[in-house]
Amino acid sequence: MRSPSYLSELFSLDGRVAVVTGGSSGIGRAIAAALAQAGASVVVVARKEAELAATVDALTAKECRAAWVSADLSTRDGVRAAAEQASAVFGEPDILVNSAGINLRPPMGEIGDSVWDATMAVNLEAPFLLGQRFGPGMAERGFGRIIHITSQQAHRAFVQSGAYGVSKGALESLARSQAEAWSPYGVTCNTLVPGFVMTPLNARLSSDPHKVAELAARTMMGRNGLAEDFAGAAVFLAGRASAYITGQAIFVDGGLSVH
């Protein structure tokens, strides 16, 4: 018999609290909007206040529950302050999305300490520290969802992957370690793997029409990714429907990685 509540039992995020780092731009912003529209109360975390406020205003205009915290995730103190401020708004999160990321692209031989440290701090250490802060609580409450945004560069070299690719490869390993630790307690930990997505992160490549067309041709869909392409996968991984999926890397890349 058809049940009107069947889909909401699988996918609704009503009553859930989500923290989305990098939620003010690109993929993170699209994911924050998706989770909020699926019912979650969402706190977006990034540095620039104007972008954060605009994101939250757009969500509250749609009658979603959303708030923002401005924090610099490139330092341990910044991450810890962000975690406390974010969990003070709607309570401890059920869902953590790590989308904040940076891609500094000096050629391999020119990568110095500062590029290495900055990349690892934002792309890897912040997700680790946030997991340490929120994962045990999720496990204790018997439900949690940790979703990291990695990259095709976790799997192969691509336009000077340098330190960035290393950080994303490690982030996939972190997801597996977190999954091993907390899955028995109802906390799934997975990664979404983008291909090439037209966002401010890759403004340089995105503004070169020749490069854009070339990259689109490498996908199976014949187009590059849009931030909105991550909405469905994020809602799925954040909800009850994905309860038996953990430690996985799910490619949202139009077939780029298998072409």
Ligand X SMILES: NC(=O)c1ccc[n+]([C@@H]2O[C@H](COP(=O)([O-])OP(=O)(O)OC[C@H]3O[C@@H](n4cnc5c(N)ncnc54)[C@H](OP(=O)(O)O)[C@@H]3O)[C@@H](O)[C@H]2O)c1
Q: Least separation, in Å, of the C-beta of 116 and ligand X?
A: 15
DSSP state of 214: H
**Which residues ranging from 77 to 136 are in contact with ligand X (CB under 6 A)?**
99-103, 122
228 binds ligand X (CB under 6 A): no
How far is the C-alpha of 11 from the C-alpha of 180, rounded, in Å? 24
Q: Residue with structure tokens 């330190």? A: 163
Stretch that binds ligand X, among 10-18, 67-75, 89-97, 236-244 (CB under 6 A): 67-75
Nearer of residues 186 and 189 to ligand X, judged by Cβ: 189
Q: Least separation, in Å, of the C-beta of 173 and ligand X?
A: 16
Query: Is 6 one of the catalytic residues?
Result: no
How far is the C-alpha of 151 from the C-alpha of 162, rounded, in Å? 13
Cβ neighbours around 206 below 10 Å, total: 17
197 binds ligand X (CB under 6 A): yes
CA distances to 59, 164, 196, 235 from 34, in Å: 10, 26, 20, 7
Q: Residue with structure tokens 């709607």? A: 90
Nearer of residues 178 and 202 to ligand X, judged by Cβ: 202
239 binds ligand X (CB under 6 A): no
74 binds ligand X (CB under 6 A): yes
How far is the C-alpha of 186 from the C-alpha of 140, rounded, in Å? 9
Q: Are strands 187-194 and 66-70 parallel, antiparallel or unpaired?
A: unpaired
Among the listed residues 196, 234, 246, 254, the single contact to ligand X using CB under 6 A: 196
What pairs with residue 67 in β-bridges?
Answer: 43
201 binds ligand X (CB under 6 A): yes
170 binds ligand X (CB under 6 A): no
Q: Which of 69, 122, 70, 68 is nearest to 100 (CA)?
A: 122
20 binds ligand X (CB under 6 A): no
**Binding string, residues 36-65; x marks residues near ligand X by CB under 6 A:** ----------xxx--x--------------
What lies within 8 Å, CB to CB, of 39 at 6+ separation is 12, 13, 14, 15, 16
69 binds ligand X (CB under 6 A): no
Catalytic residues: 164
* Residues near ligand X (CB under 6 A): 22, 24-28, 46-48, 51, 72-74, 99-103, 122, 149, 151, 194, 196-197, 199-202
